[in-house]
Amino acid sequence: MHTVGPHPSNSQVPLFLAPLAFLAGLCLIPRVLEAQKPLETLPLSQVRPGMEGYAYTIFAGDHIEKFDLEVIGVVNNFLGPKQSIILVQLKGPKVEHTGVVAGMSGSPVYLDGKLAGALSLKLGVFTKEPIAGVTPIQDVLNPPPSAAAEFPRQQFGVPTEPAASTGLSLDSALEPIETPLVFSGFQPATLQQFASQIRGYGLVATQGGTTTPSPQDSHLVPGDMAGMVLVQGDASINSACTVTAVESDRVFLCGHPFLNLGDVQIPMARSKVVMTLSSDLASTKIVNVAGPIGTITSDHLTAVTGKLGAPPPMIPLDLSLRGANSEKKLHFEIVNHPKLTPLLVGLTTFNGLTQNSAYGEGTTLHFRGEIRLQGHAPVEIENTFAPGDSLAPDGFPIALTMQNVFGRLFSNTFEPAKVDGISLHVESVPGRKSFSIESAWLEKGEAAPGEMLRVRVLLRPYRGAPQIEETTVRIPEQVSRGTTLRVLISDGDMLNRASRGFAFGGTGGGPAGLDQLISFLNRERRNDRLYVGLFVPAPTMLWDDKELPNIPLSQINIVDGRPAPGSVQVLRESLASEASIPLGGPVSGVISLNLQIR
């Protein structure tokens, strides 16, 4: 008789599965065990040479791996007064193959089973042994409040010149482990245009991607990866480093500064490691950025810290590009920070403009932009850019224009510029349409007060036949007979400078408030028009954003020198009247003519 063995009862199932559950639990170290036990730390005073320990990081996927290390010694006052580091040697087949990896900064280091610090520094470039520096855990959890002010990031960032030129050997320089700046949706050609500025921030640009956000993204444990969100949307820019510790909703990562920005409000996102690329020069992690999980709240000498929860708002940027037979619309969100936003706006604008099918080189670009500010009038920008003979892409001037405008807004000394949104519209017209001023003449060499004066200008279009344009300017009624006036035929930039002096360039007088700065920006003349300005020999006072032409010398003597230095400027001429002719392409050149009043 065939007998069937008894089925395990319901009470026996847990006993039957217990070994499997135990083995599965081992795979979750440290994701469960390290996260559940209270944070126990080892003071720097108890660290001794020869101590053996371990650290956690991710080499691929979500799998946190453990690798061994040994303490070489403690280097006192390395980062500055009372800012010491622990020197360690990494051990194990994987880390001995990869060396210290970009993105590994922040990896939690345990000695005697206690959290001793965060991996933060690397020694040398082509070293045979993986030697690293560890920021003591007390400095990670309690960064010095004055660190950002006393120790600028440039001291410890990736050097912009070879270390040999500064007298340091490449094999003996301890410097921060690179924090990859992950660009998703950006082509290498785009990054090359801004390479010098990116290097100037001490950053290492890498290409990566994005991955679908998950509710589990915010469940961080030591060894996971996270970082700052600088740009998101149809393209993204994110930093990525390793989580050192999590206390309630507080996250400690990197073990060194990102840019030493101090207290900040920057979105924090989870990062997923695709793979670790081993290199004799600089191993790095290839990273995908996941969903937002909170806010980076501080960026100091010894750590980046964040708070889990809702991320802070970002600046929306909408870009539309219309070509001959197509139109493309893109949306981005950019971090709001005075040191980062101008560069990021320029970089994102250029990438969005050039990396799509509606854009092509050799076209004239008509550009309109609006920057909406809380509590202030919007900044309106309108200009035209034609292809040039330089190797720079045709869209680069638009990016530089946006970067310059945001630089002026965010560097103002009056109040923070709170941007609600940015709208940019670019129309691409085939061919190069530009004009140079070759000659100009007046209808007659003298005129009477109140008379309309006809001005003719000879223009040479790019690779086109010369053409003559004509306009008129009115002679002021109050001009005295026998006076000599100046007629300036020029592009918009030259007339801006002639009528506003140094205030236009920001090197002398200037606005006394954000409203006045916006007024300056909105009054700048366009570059696709031919301008004719009539100047009379009477002083103009530039007081903040106000232009006071024909002001009597007695009044100038009363106010000159009384306001704050640099807020008053006197020009020897006053712009009495002006006329302009739209041409549909950039204009360049200047001619000055004299006119006698009879």
Residue 243, in any domain of the structure: yes
CA distances from 252 to 126, 231, 335, 598 (A): 30, 22, 20, 79
Model confidence at 405: pLDDT above 60:
yes
**Distance from CA of residue 417 to its chain's centroid?**
16
* Phi, psi of 550, rounded to the nearest 5 degrees: 55, 35
Residue 9, in any domain of the structure: no
In terms of DSSP bridges, do strands 250-253 and 241-247 run parallel, antiparallel, or are they unpaired? antiparallel
Q: What pLDDT, in 10s, does the model give residues 76-103?
A: 887 777 788 999 999 999 888 888 888 8
* 423 and 454 part of one domain: no
Q: How many CA atoms lie within 13 A of 477 on its CB side?
A: 0
- Interatomic CA distance for residues 165 and 175, integer angstroms: 16
Pure H helices in 278-377: 341-354
Domain boundary among 430, 451, 476: 430
Q: What is the pLDDT of residue 149?
A: 38
Q: What is the pLDDT of residue 124?
A: 66
Going by the DSSP 8-state scheme, the letter that residue 190 receives in this structure is H
Task: Determine how many CB atoms are found less than 10 A away from the CB of residue 414.
Answer: 12
* 441 and 408 part of one domain: no
Residue 53, in any domain of the structure: yes
How many domains does the chain fold into? 3
* 386 and 424 part of one domain: yes
**555, 549, 519: which is closest to 534 by C-alpha?**
549
Per-residue pLDDT band at 596 (split at 50, 70, 90) = very high
Domain boundary among 255, 282, 312: 312
Model confidence at 36: pLDDT above 50:
no
Write the burial class of residue 212 (CB in 10 Å: 0-12 exposed, 13-18 middle, 19+ buried). exposed
* Phi, psi of 248, rounded to the nearest 5 degrees: 60, -115
Enclosing domain of residue 537: 435-597
Q: What pLDDT, in 10s, does the model give residues 200-242?
A: 776 778 888 888 888 888 899 999 999 999 999 999 999 989 9
Residue 79 near residue 174, CB atoms below 8 Å: no
CA distances from 60 to 94, 129, 130, 352 (A): 12, 22, 19, 30
* 257 and 127 part of one domain: yes
- Interatomic CA distance for residues 29 and 300, integer angstroms: 29
Residue 28, in any domain of the structure: no
**455, 427, 448: which is closest to 528 by C-alpha?**
427
Q: What is the pLDDT of residue 175?
A: 82
Q: What is the pLDDT of residue 143?
A: 72
Residue 139, in any domain of the structure: yes
**Ramachandran sector of residue 255 (left: φ over 0; alpha: ψ -120 to 50; beta: rest):** left
The kind and range of the H/E element at 150 are: helix 147-150
